[in-house]
Amino acid sequence: MSNLILDFQEIDKTQITAAGGKGANLGELSRMEGIHVPEGFCITTEAYHRVLRETTSAGELLEQLASLKQGDWEQIGALSAKIRIAIEDAGIPEDIQEEILRTLSRFGPNHAYAVRSSATAEDLPTASFAGQQDTYLNLVGIESILKHISKCWASLFTERAVTYRIQNCFDHRTVQLAVIVQKMVCPESSGILFTVDPVTSNRTIVSIDAGFGLGEAMVSGIVSADLYQVRDGNVIEKKISSKKRAISAMEKGGTKEYDLEPELQNQQVLTEPQILELANLGRRIEAYFGCPQDIEWCLADGTFSILQSRPITTLYPIPEANDQEKHVYVSVGHQQMMTDPLRPLGMSVFEMTSFGTRFRAGGRLFVDVAPMLAASESRGALLQAMGQHDPLIKDALITLIDRGDFIKPLADTESKPGNKATAERKTGNMGTSGVFQSQLESDPEIVSVLIRRSRESIEMLSRTIREKSGTALFDFIRDDIQKLKNALFEPQSMDVIMAASNAASWINEKMKEWLGEKNAADVLSQSVPNNITSEMGLGLLDLADTLRPYPEVIQYLQHGNRDLFYDELLKYKGGYEVREAICNYLDQYGMRCAGEIDITRTRWSEKPELLLSMMLNNLKNFTSGESKRRFERGLREALEKEKELIDRLKLLPGGYQKVEETKRAIDLLRTFTGYREYPKFEIVQRYFIYKKALLKEAERLLELGVITEIEDIYYLTFEEFGEAVRTEKLDRSVIPQRKEEFKHFERLTPPRVMTSDGEIITGSYHQKDLPAGAIPGLAVSSGVAEGRARVILKMEDANLEADDILVTSFTDPSWTPLFVNVKALITEVGGLMTHGAVIAREYGLPAVVGVEDAVKLIRDGQRIRVNGTEGYVMVISDDK
């Protein structure tokens, strides 16, 4: 055959550019022994390219389409429709028609055929594009087949296909379309097989949907399918649905919908032997392609036919452990409040900074907690820690323990497998029963000494690293990271952090027990000293005050070139003063940025315009002196709350003792809580110093032609980067490969907890008596607030007003400057002691975190209520 037509037997996985993803997979399936694929052929992308090249108007429209972005819905719809019309009107060139007719004569032109699209950006390992282009069933006659081949080409430009490509960053101009023409099978039954459980992602389970007639009945939603699940050669679940309707092929072409006979409506579609046979076929196909598959099948005359097999691209990859043991992986990102993927350099540096073994998957890090869950002496401490970081992680782990089918507790006398009450009992807050205990006194000098040591260490690092280059620099950074780890876990530093955390827990428990006061520590935590993160937010308010006297500067910042604003300030009256103030701010906090645990992220000092929106928000929303007023108000409220609690305690039996204990706990809380933010600040400071030194090495590699752009080094691990510096050589093919891989990772949603079977374990809050329609979460900062929801995914995009409530996926310390502009905070990730929660309490903002899918459930502009005392969110209205 020519390069325009390929028989399935001529196609393999290397020919995606000619046959598209579906065609390549069908070619591979046709080669498998014992797998029946209906006969057919592929009209290659060369034919589509010819049609597009010879249809001038389509090419011009395609160029216009390529310039559109998400949100340009009207233009997308209009241009897509015009391109489809142009392609269908152009028809099929005569020489291509002749080749199609010759091929059909060999297969049998009077047979019924299915005509399916097969795009080059389809059924790929990282993007399935499932259902984005069209399929036409039971076509009879040459004219009908040719007409629908053109329709298939045109379907590359349906609105859904165009939008999907924009979302997945595929260029419309580079995506090509092949067309599959395949003999039609008229089955008794058909359906979909997943070689994993599509709900839990458990890789040990095969899941089968089955219905009578053509699978189109299930796709179109007119019938519920039977569900069968198979594990280790056994049917472990069967759900037989009521199936009143079905779709079948008509003799003269096309399909029809009809009522099933009453005796079939509740009948099991497949017998148990058929279920096991089909599951075995699925496992064979999965093994052949080397990854989980989504398979279309049908059954006719006792034979299963495979119509399509594509990779399941939405699955989160399982961390590699290289053993056969059972593992329970917990997301490090959910604990660090940064669930975005890390680039390879960022990943490897963060791993070096971490303790214990970390497992990589999907550009994120996980830790295996299976050994700790199995041992009763460590299980309680683990669950308590997870509860502080993210209660949904804790509940997911308890659920897994309670099931008793994956984690087998080691023999002990304290607990029994599956005893959820025991697991929960072990997670009570340390130090909260009886008299609060701490060996530390509330001496602020302890914190001052720790901060001074950190600053001296940073100054020494800045001086010393300037002398290092080449491989000596990499050795130096390795050694310094070890010193950093020792400093972070220095006993006195850890004691200070734990004393503050335990004091807060003690206050909350005892005030609830003695006074019925819920979350009393929240108000007491406002405006504490030595909190570097909250000081950063207040400092940006002071920066706005520097701007106020200079209207020319303000006008320029509002309307000028954002990318050049820092350099052009000096042209305007007051520009020198403003630039100096910004420079001072960056000297203190310029090493911060969103996602700062990834050393490759752009820091504020590297791109000062990242601060511009926050500066202008502060200018718009506040008057001069807001920083001082806000701190003093928080301090006043904290002291008033302390006095109120003490006065009430005095009236209780044993009041004197209760007052003494409470005063001591409050002193510890207020003296030590602020320091909790400092160790993270030291990490980020060191990261920026490392980064600046490493970028100098990258510049040398660029000069030598080893890399093509500076940021290429972000896609190398620390060790690979060091080796490239040593040898002045690099396999450059690895860079584009990792860039594409990173784009794929960005589209994945990391699970909080997953097992080595790939099963994603989810948790819940188990809250009672919530109002109807409430969206549950974790209460981390008391109070109730109503306002306009502002759903913000990038900090630099924030345009906030005083009545707004910030809704986002996660916040790390760099988001703190936004907190001064909002009435309340909602995040999808977080726990009681994560940064967003700590700062929300200090600023007195009601906050609910761990609200799953918050950025999807809450729309920008809706009027919402945040209850930071009970832990839920209510949508009040859609009014903006």
Are 71 and 212 within 8 A, CB to CB?
Answer: no
The model's confidence at residue 567, banded by pLDDT at 50, 70 and 90, is confident
pLDDT at 251: 79
pLDDT at 67: 73
pLDDT at 795: 84
| pTM for this entry | 0.86
**Statement: residue 171 has pLDDT above 90:** no
**What is the rounded average pLDDT of the residues 507-528?**
95
pLDDT at 121: 56
pLDDT at 173: 65
Range among 419-433, 473-487, 826-840 rated most confident? 473-487
Residues 6+ apart with CB under 8 A from 121: 21, 127, 129, 165, 168, 170, 175
**What is the rounded average pLDDT of the residues 269-292?**
96
**Statement: residue 409 has pLDDT above 80:** no
Q: What radius of gyration, in Å, describes the C-alpha atoms of the chain?
A: 31
The model's confidence at residue 432, banded by pLDDT at 50, 70 and 90, is very low
pLDDT at 443: 87
pLDDT at 133: 58
pLDDT at 2: 63
pLDDT at 51: 86
Query: In DSSP terms, which residues pair with 368 in a beta bridge?
Result: 329
The model's confidence at residue 444, banded by pLDDT at 50, 70 and 90, is confident
**Statement: residue 25 has pLDDT above 60:** yes
**What is the rounded average pLDDT of the residues 533-546?**
95
Long-range contact pairs involving 587-593 (C-beta distance under 8 Å, separation at least 24): 588/536, 588/539, 589/536, 589/539, 590/688, 591/684, 591/685, 591/687, 591/688, 592/536, 592/684, 592/813, 592/814, 593/814
pLDDT at 235: 97
pLDDT at 131: 44
The pLDDT tens digits of the residues spanning 578-587 come to 999 999 999 9
DSSP for 555-573?
Answer: HHHHHS-GGGHHHHGGGST
Number of other CB atoms surrounding residue 652 within 10 Å: 13
d(CA 183, CA 145): 12
- Specify the range with the lowest mean pLDDT, choosing from 42-51, 212-221, 539-548: 212-221
**Statement: residue 429 has pLDDT above 60:** no
Q: What is the C-alpha end-to-end distance of the chain, expressed in Å?
A: 62
DSSP for 67-108?
Answer: T--TT-HHHHHHHHHHHHHHHHHH---HHHHHHHHHHHHHH-
Are 315 and 196 within 8 A, CB to CB?
Answer: yes
What amino acid is encoded at 789 in this protein?
Answer: A
What amino acid is encoded at 35 in this protein?
Answer: I
pLDDT at 413: 39
The arrangement of strands across the sheet holding 189-194 comes to 234-239, 226-231, 206-212, 189-194, 293-300, 303-311
Q: Is 872 exposed, middle or buried (0-12, 13-18, 19+ CB in 10 A)?
A: buried
pLDDT at 246: 86
Catalytic residue status for 835: yes
291 closest CA partner among 194, 151, 209: 194
**Which residue has better confidence, 877 or 663?**
663
- Specify the range with the lowest mean pLDDT, choosing from 116-125, 263-272, 360-369, 557-566: 116-125
371 closest CA partner among 397, 404, 413, 409: 409
d(CA 599, CA 347): 8
**Statement: residue 132 has pLDDT above 60:** no
pLDDT at 798: 84
pLDDT at 127: 47
**Statement: residue 751 has pLDDT above 90:** yes
454 closest CA partner among 483, 497, 496, 474: 483
The model's confidence at residue 258, banded by pLDDT at 50, 70 and 90, is confident
pLDDT at 845: 93
**Statement: residue 70 has pLDDT above 60:** yes
Number of other CB atoms surrounding residue 746 within 10 Å: 12
Are 873 and 853 within 8 A, CB to CB?
Answer: no
Angle formed by the axes of helices 718-727 and 678-704, to 10°? Answer: 30
pLDDT at 733: 93
d(CA 138, CA 249): 6
pLDDT at 549: 96
Range among 120-129, 274-283, 561-570 rated most confident? 274-283
**What is the rounded average pLDDT of the residues 562-569?**
83
The model's confidence at residue 411, banded by pLDDT at 50, 70 and 90, is low
**What is the rounded average pLDDT of the residues 98-116?**
88
Helix (H, G, I), strand (E, B) or coil at 335: helix
E strands within 680-777?
A: 753-755, 760-761, 775-776
**Which residue has better confidence, 317 or 566?**
317
The pLDDT tens digits of the residues spanning 455-486 come to 999 999 999 999 999 999 999 999 999 999 88
Residues 6+ apart with CB under 8 A from 370: 325, 326, 327, 328, 407
Q: Is 463 exposed, middle or buried (0-12, 13-18, 19+ CB in 10 A)?
A: exposed
Residue holding tokens 């759903």? 791
pLDDT at 168: 67
pLDDT at 194: 96
d(CA 196, CA 230): 10
**Statement: residue 687 has pLDDT above 70:** yes
